[in-house]
Amino acid sequence: MQRCYQKDEGKMVKRLLQKTRLLGKNSKNVLPVSLEQTESKKLSKSLEKNLIKLKETFSGNSDVIFREFNIGVHNECVPAVIIFIDGMVNINIVNENIIKALMVDVRIAESIPLNGKKDLIAEIEKYALSAADSKEVNNSEEIIEGILSGDTILLVDGYDVSLKISARGWESRGVTESNTEAVVRGPREGYTETLRTNTVLLRRKIKSKDLIFEGMKIGRFTKTDVCIAYIRGIANEKIVDELKKRLSKIDIDGILESGYIEAFIEDSPFSIFPTIGNTEKPDITAAKLLEGRVAIFTDGTPIVLTLPYLFVETIQNSEDYYSRPWHITFIRWIRFSALISTVFLPAIYIAGQSYHHEMIPTSLLITMAAAREGIPFPVLVEIIIMAIIFEVLREAGVRMPKPVGQAVSIVGALVLGEAAVSAGIVSAPAVIVIAFTGISGFLIYSQNDSITIMRFFFIFLAGFAGLFGILLGVIFVLIHMAGLRSFGVPYLAPIATGTVGDLKDVVIRVPLWMMRNRPSMMGSKNIERLGAQGMPKPPKDE
Amino acid sequence: MLEDGKISNKQIIFLIITIITSTTILLFPSLVYKEAKQDSWMTLFFLMVFGIIVVYIITTLGLMFKDKTIIQYSEIIVGKVLGKILGIIYFVFFIHINAFIIREFSELLLSSFYPETPMLFFAIGIIIASTYAVRSGIEVIGRVSEVLFPIFIIVISGIVILAFKDMNFNNLIPILANGWAPVLKGTYYEFLLIGETIVLAMLIPYLNIPQKVRKSGIISIVSTCLLGILILGGIIAVFGEQTGYLRYPFLAVARYVSVAGIVERMDPLIMIIWIGGVFVKISVFHYCAVLALAQWLNIKDYRPLVLPVGGIMVVLSVILWENIAILSEQLTGIVIIPYLTIQVGIPVLLLIIAKLRKKER
């Protein structure tokens, strides 16, 4: 895969970061040596010894439960222990299917003769244990990991193998409507914080044997379960391999959110544009997988990453494909104009007011000049003040606790807007410009990080050099975007890499029965996604 | 080969059309009008023919050495010493033509929009942008042009179309009132615009499919000339005799456009788009200059050279001409013959010698 960023700049920046000790010099920080590494890993045949070792490992923890019991009748019983963490297991299954099955049902059914059995564990697993998911484990590292993940461990006296039974169950937020990605028409389910629930939500969308989930654990302390999802045969193998390579290189204390993973695997860490997309809804993920992308699920967060991510995805929305084409084409154009206006409107306003008066129609010019009568600040300062106030309001709206909610709308609208204009601190056109800019920004929230920065960048350029400055800024941003790649795919594809066929989903949205092929820039080998059915027609009258 | 970037055929077409059109509509309409009067738009037909010939020569030469630029294969054709001399000539040529372009565009901005700003500001600003582009490689320049091209063409054609109601086609007649001579003289002034396709000689190694370059080149020449006819014809139709007195007639047409009293005096917006086109041109010539120097000196990485070469261009653009009048005079006078030699004459010679040498083997 070709690289487009400057090589010597990269080295210079790296050396600079190393000098200021922000970036380590390939140091392999040694973890404080944990107990897991010093102990011998094998279990012993004596239950006592195993118990002592495990109790020592979990010493100090009050939520690890050791339940000792006997399997079998009084004279023929075998001591056993189950270990689990209170709250992380489905206690019904533990009670009914593990403890009851082994304590009571074995006695009643006499399914396994207990004396002198060499392979009691296998017998238990096959004949007595009525839990669905169990596995033999014989090293203490896996045992400890299993306990910490919510599994139940069964140890039996006289055997150096244990059973790891998966009977997980904990309190979690149920599958609810996603608030950040709302649709009018379309499924409303959003992911939750549990990995398994999320993968199931995706499996329900794509019931194909080619949907592959590859799991791994990342993070020294958090051991977060991370899952790569892709459709074998559609996704580009190279991207999957490259992704696996990058994920295996992550060496960090903990992965708390998918954003951490994003930061470690992205192509251009210093760019303001995200090259990895995210979503909270399974139908969006399914659609992206069907186009050839790869998804990354992270345990503990409902945000799923999708890559490669291209700039055009900013104006594409899942609802687009559930509604009718003409309307959606129109909405796409609106979104695109919103993108332009949210970045450029304040800057153009400043440029028009300060440098290029001839651009504004005469009557409007007079109105604006009258509105600006007596305002103490130049246009640039006015717009910057209003833009910063807007950002503060927006951030406050997100973070504040619900009871205080009303205050923000009142304070924002009435006090800052109305009163500031009446007091003559800012002019009404500036308020209007910033308000419209802000609202347009909400239309394309996925690029919010880059849009805010660009807005300020262009505001300064416009104040400094008028339209010429804006133009230079546009050229800079364009050059930057043209050189960005997301896992080998150019960021500006398909706008700037000219496969005209792919444009059918960018500037317009052609009806679904016209979308014969997947986007070719994903590099998948399986291009056709539509059979030969053509346009829907009413049946001919006979 | 100094980098792995590749441009597609569509991108090279866009690049060449942008390159030629962006400065054609700057100064040339009035300069040509002084000679050919109302038949100026006919000069473009001859230009098309000339352009196709030039493209043919340059691409034939370039295709003989598919992965080498003219700097490299001139050494092969005429020997090391002469080849090195030719290399230096081309390097200086690219710098000089870029200085011309930067000066033209700075003068435009200065006189029409920013009278108080020092000229150095525009030159430095555009060269910084061009430096970033050139450092990112030719692929990035190609992609940026692909994004800017549709906007550029739509806006420019839009201006001409919107000015339709102000057009008086009587300004275009009588046709050929003074015979063919003025038309041919006008064409003569425009030759060096077509010669700008010499950038093909530097860019052929970086094309995706080199074999198609001839077709791409011819498509670009034809499109450019058709667009030029539209624009030039439109300008003359709007202004008639005044065209000769306006320094920037196209800008004047843009100022003239008035739709429903709202969309009027849109020239700053036009300026933005136009400068986008000029930026593409400057960055391509900047790239060619830097590439020429790097290949001449046999350096592995051309990136350290970009900023110094840019600096030279900026300085030259400021000091070589005192004012726009001298620049226009040079443009239609002294500069034509050397430029034509470099852009057309030398490739023709190289082609002949190369073919002869091939026959020898």
Greater confidence, A496 or B357? Answer: B357
The one-letter amino acid code at A128 reads: A
* Interface probe with A: pick from B122, B143, B207, most Cβ of A within 10 Å: B143
Residues of A in contact with B262 (CB under 8 A): 361
**CA pair distance A521, A239, nearest whole angstrom:** 12
Sequential DSSP letters for A330-367: HHHHHHHHHHHHHHHHHHHHHHHHHT-GGGS-HHHHHH
Of A59-68, A456-465, B267-276, the one with minimum mean pLDDT is: B267-276
Half-sphere exposure of A267 (CA within 13 A, CB side): 27
Greater confidence, B217 or A493? Answer: B217
Let me know whether A258 and A221 are in one domain: yes
Contact criterion met (CB < 8 Å) for A498 and B135: no
A192: distance to nearest CA of chain B, Å? 40
Instruction: Give the torsion through C-alpha atoms of A520, A524, A525, A531, to 10 deg.
Output: -70
Q: Is residue A540 part of a domain?
A: no
B212 in contact with A at a CB cutoff of 8 Å? Answer: no
Q: Is residue A424 part of a domain?
A: yes
A328: distance to nearest CA of chain B, Å? 23
Let me know whether A132 and A203 are in one domain: no
Q: Can you give the length of chain A in residues?
A: 542
Contact criterion met (CB < 8 Å) for A492 and B143: yes
B140: distance to nearest CA of chain A, Å? 5
Helix (H/G/I), strand (E/B), else coil: A214: strand
Residues of A in contact with B122 (CB under 8 A): 468
The pLDDT confidence band at residue A31, using thresholds 50, 70 and 90, is very low
Q: Is residue A539 part of a domain?
A: no
The pLDDT confidence band at residue A117, using thresholds 50, 70 and 90, is low
Let me know whether A330 and A232 are in one domain: no
Q: What is the pLDDT of residue A500?
A: 63
Residues of A in contact with B276 (CB under 8 A): 471, 474-475
**Residue A87 domain boundaries:** 35-165
Helix (H/G/I), strand (E/B), else coil: A98: helix
When CB atoms are compared, the residue of A351, A355, A483 closest to B140 is A483
Closest-CA residue of chain A to B279: A475
The percent of residues above 70 in pLDDT, for chain A, comes to 86
**In the beta sheet, which residues pair with residue A80?**
A69, A156
Closest-CA residue of chain B to A483: B140
Closest-CA residue of chain B to A365: B262
Closest-CA residue of chain B to A473: B129
**DSSP assignment letter at B207:** B
A2 in contact with B at a CB cutoff of 8 Å? Answer: yes
Q: What is the pLDDT of residue B307?
A: 93
A190 in contact with B at a CB cutoff of 8 Å? Answer: no
Let me know whether A349 and A299 are in one domain: no
Question: How many domains is chain A partitioned into structurally?
Answer: 3
Contact criterion met (CB < 8 Å) for A478 and B126: no
Using alpha carbons, list the distances in angstroms from residue A244 to A2, A238, A441, B184. 18, 10, 34, 66
Let me know whether A462 and A349 are in one domain: yes
**Can you read off the two tokens belonging to residue A296?**
């990354």
Interface of A with B in 344-403 (CB under 8 A): 351-352, 355-356, 358-359, 361
B97: distance to nearest CA of chain A, Å? 21
Domain boundary among A458, A483, A508: A483
**Can you read off the two tokens belonging to residue A314?**
């900013």
Nearest to B23, CA basis, from B97, B127, B129: B97
Domain boundary among A263, A295, A314: A314
Q: Is residue A349 part of a domain?
A: yes
Let me know whether A461 and A402 are in one domain: yes
Let me know whether A217 and A140 are in one domain: no
Average pLDDT over residues A227-247: 90
B183: distance to nearest CA of chain A, Å? 36
Let me know whether A419 and A455 are in one domain: yes
A473: distance to nearest CA of chain B, Å? 9
Q: Is residue A503 part of a domain?
A: no
Q: Where are the alpha helices (DSSP H) in chain B?
A: 9-24, 28-36, 43-64, 70-78, 80-112, 119-136, 138-162, 180-194, 199-203, 213-239, 249-256, 267-296, 303-319, 324-331, 336-340, 346-360
* Interface probe with B: pick from A311, A344, A478, most Cβ of B within 10 Å: A478
Let me know whether A269 and A377 are in one domain: no
When CB atoms are compared, the residue of A468, A496, A497 closest to B109 is A468
pLDDT at A524 over 80: no
Residues of A in contact with B275 (CB under 8 A): 468, 471
Q: Which domains does chain B have, with CATH numbers?
A: 9-352 (1.20.1740.10)
- What phi and psi values does residue A386 have, to the nearest 5 degrees? -65, -40
Domain boundary among A314, A347, A382: A314
Closest-CA residue of chain B to A1: B4
Q: Is residue A215 part of a domain?
A: yes
pLDDT tens for each residue of A254-289: 889 999 999 999 888 888 898 999 899 999 999 999
Contact criterion met (CB < 8 Å) for A471 and B261: no
Contact criterion met (CB < 8 Å) for B271 and A498: no
Let me know whether A391 and A462 are in one domain: yes
B312: distance to nearest CA of chain A, Å? 20
Closest-CA residue of chain A to B260: A361
Interface of B with A in 120-139 (CB under 8 A): 121-122, 125-126, 128-129, 132-133, 135-137, 139
Greater confidence, A107 or B279? Answer: B279
pTM reported for the whole predicted model: 0.85
pLDDT tens for each residue of A361-416: 788 888 888 888 888 888 999 899 889 988 888 888 778 777 777 777 777 777 77
Closest-CA residue of chain A to B135: A6
Residues of B in contact with A495 (CB under 8 A): 146-147
Q: A277-279 and A304-307 as β-strands: parallel, antiparallel, unpaired? A: antiparallel
Radius of gyration for the alpha carbons in chain A, expressed in angstroms and rounded: 30
Residues of A in contact with B113 (CB under 8 A): 355-356, 466-468
pLDDT at A113 over 70: no
Sequential DSSP letters for A395-452: HHHHHS-GGGHHHHHIIIIIIIIIIHHHHTSS-HHHHHHHHHHHHHHHHTGGGHHHHH
Q: What is the pLDDT of residue A345?
A: 93
Average pLDDT over residues A230-243: 89
A359: distance to nearest CA of chain B, Å? 6
B268: distance to nearest CA of chain A, Å? 7
When CB atoms are compared, the residue of A352, A468, A495 closest to B147 is A495
Let me know whether A310 and A352 are in one domain: no
Per-residue pLDDT tens digits of chain B, which is 361 residues long: 456 778 888 888 999 999 888 888 877 888 888 877 777 778 888 888 888 988 888 888 888 887 888 888 888 888 888 888 989 999 999 999 999 899 988 988 888 888 888 889 999 999 999 999 999 888 889 888 888 888 888 888 888 888 888 788 887 777 777 778 888 888 888 888 888 888 888 888 888 888 888 888 899 999 998 988 888 888 888 887 777 788 888 888 888 777 766 666 677 777 777 888 899 999 999 999 999 999 888 888 888 889 999 999 999 999 988 888 888 888 888 888 888 888 888 888 888 888 888 777 6
Contact criterion met (CB < 8 Å) for A498 and B140: no
Residues of A in contact with B282 (CB under 8 A): none
3-class SS string, A246-270 = HHHCCCCCCCCCHHHHHHHHCCCCC
Let me know whether A139 and A251 are in one domain: no
> Which residues, 6 or more positions from B122, have their beta carbon under 8 angstroms from its beta carbon?
A468, B102, B105, B106, B109, B110, B114
Greater confidence, A7 or A180? Answer: A180
Pairs of CB atoms within 8 A across A/B: 102
**CA pair distance B281, B287, nearest whole angstrom:** 10
Nearest to B189, CA basis, from B319, B306, B76, B47: B47
B272 in contact with A at a CB cutoff of 8 Å? Answer: yes
Greater confidence, A300 or B243? Answer: A300
Q: Is residue A529 part of a domain?
A: no
Contact criterion met (CB < 8 Å) for A358 and B268: yes
Looking up tokens 């996603």, which residue turns up?
Answer: A178
Q: Is residue A17 part of a domain?
A: no
